[in-house]
Amino acid sequence: MDETRPLVSPEEAVRERYSRAATQREAALCCPVSYDPKLLEAIPAEVLERDYGCGDPTRYAREGETVLDLGSGTGKACFLASQIVGPTGRVIGVDMNDEMLAVARRAAPEVARRIGFGNVEFRKARIQDLRPVVPDGSVDLVVSNCVLNLVQPEAKKALFAEIHRVLRRGGRAVISDIVSDRDVPEPLMADPELWSGCISGAFREDAFVQAFEEAGFYGTTLLERQAKPWRVVEGIAFRSVTVVAYKGKEGACLDRGSPQPVDAAPATEEGTTCGPGSSSCC
């Protein structure tokens, strides 16, 4: 009799692994990230001890914005963003895992008490199907931290379309994720352990940027790129990157000739600027 563990789908593996990780810290889930220690002071230890990511896209949030965090987990990125956007801003976390959501919702009142205001809420949904929980054009900034790679290949086109849909004209997505230097072969993609560990579902780096462009974004720019690979599996290098992409170029250009287009992207760390006559704008 074969007593090996029954095979599970990658999605089931993600659900099981992150449910366990909501109750017991798993160090192997992603790579270390540095955060603003002053912002961390307001976040309960239960959240910090069960946080998994590969970057900090919340540092690009602005005061007063509405921020959507995809795959919000125990809520760390939401609680960081809530302090940056301030009492006039709003933060929405979306996750499909009940155990992770329970930790986040339990922590929210305490974070609000510590910072003096509450502007965070958590909703349950798959990030590739946000329509039931996030209306069209209702968000200024979409962030995500090492979660897009957990979505099945056949759903990734819908995922990028959803990110574009929920953003207002002039809004932007800042996404931290794991990418690979080569296509991940089928045997690795079929490994539930590697999939739930943010490896098997990784985008090839150039395909990651292309996915934003195909969804209608413009001005896609690499903000951060891990110099040394986080992991190398069967000769394939996996590393963390953070990308920004803007919504607003589609449709009639009403801003040409103005000193600064209303949907303009600010100068980025790579030097890309959006201004009159720029091919990155209208």
**Is residue 179 one of the residues assigned to a domain?**
yes
Splitting the chain (282 residues) into consecutive groups of 10 residues, what average pLDDT does each group show? 46 51 51 88 93 91 98 96 98 96 97 98 98 98 94 95 98 97 92 80 95 97 95 95 92 40 37 34 38
User: What is the pTM assigned to this prediction?
Assistant: 0.82
- CATH, residue 219: 3.40.50.150
Look at residue 252 in the predicted model and tell me its pLDDT: 47
**Is residue 88 one of the residues assigned to a domain?**
yes
d(CA 161, CA 14): 22
d(CA 111, CA 82): 9
Angle between helices 76-85 and 98-115 in degrees, nearest 10: 30
SS3 63: coil
d(CA 132, CA 4): 39
**Is residue 170 one of the residues assigned to a domain?**
yes
d(CA 68, CA 72): 9
**Is residue 102 one of the residues assigned to a domain?**
yes
**Is residue 270 one of the residues assigned to a domain?**
no
Task: Let me know if 206 is exposed, middle or buried by CB neighbors in 10 A (0-12, 13-18, 19+).
Answer: exposed
d(CA 196, CA 275): 41
Instruction: Give the total number of structural domains in the chain.
Output: 1
**Domain span at 122:** 10-24+32-246
Q: 205 is written with which tokens?
A: 């780096």
**Is residue 261 one of the residues assigned to a domain?**
no
Look at residue 250 in the predicted model and tell me its pLDDT: 64
Look at residue 9 in the predicted model and tell me its pLDDT: 56
Q: By the 8 A CB rule, do 143 and 70 touch?
A: yes
Q: By the 8 A CB rule, do 121 and 93 touch?
A: yes
Q: By the 8 A CB rule, do 204 and 180 touch?
A: yes
**Is residue 263 one of the residues assigned to a domain?**
no
* pLDDT single digits (tens) 26-49: 455 466 788 999 999 999 999 998
**Is residue 185 one of the residues assigned to a domain?**
yes
Kindly tell me the sign of the dihedral angle through the C-alpha atoms of 18, 69, 92, 120: positive
